[in-house]
Amino acid sequence: MFSVIREQIDTIFREDPAARSVVEIVLCYPGFHAVLLHRVAHRLYKARFPLLPRLISQFSRFLTGIEIHPGATIGHRFFIDHGMGVVIGETSEIGDDVLIYQGVTLGGTGHERGKRHPTIGNKVVIGTGAKVLGGITIGNNVKIGAGSVVVKSVPDNSTVVGIPGRIVRSGSSTGVLDHGLLPDPEGQDIADLKHRVAELEAQIKAVLDGAAVRR
List, by residue number, the catalytic residues: 111
Query: Are residues 174 and 157 in contact, defined by beta-carbon separation less than 8 angstroms?
Result: no
β-pairing, 166-169 vs 159-161, is antiparallel
HSE-CB at 198 with a 13 A cutoff on CA atoms is: 6
Nearest to 145 by CA among 163, 122, 171: 163
Round to whole Å and give the CA distance between 129 and 149.
Answer: 9
Round to whole Å and give the CA distance between 129 and 20.
Answer: 26
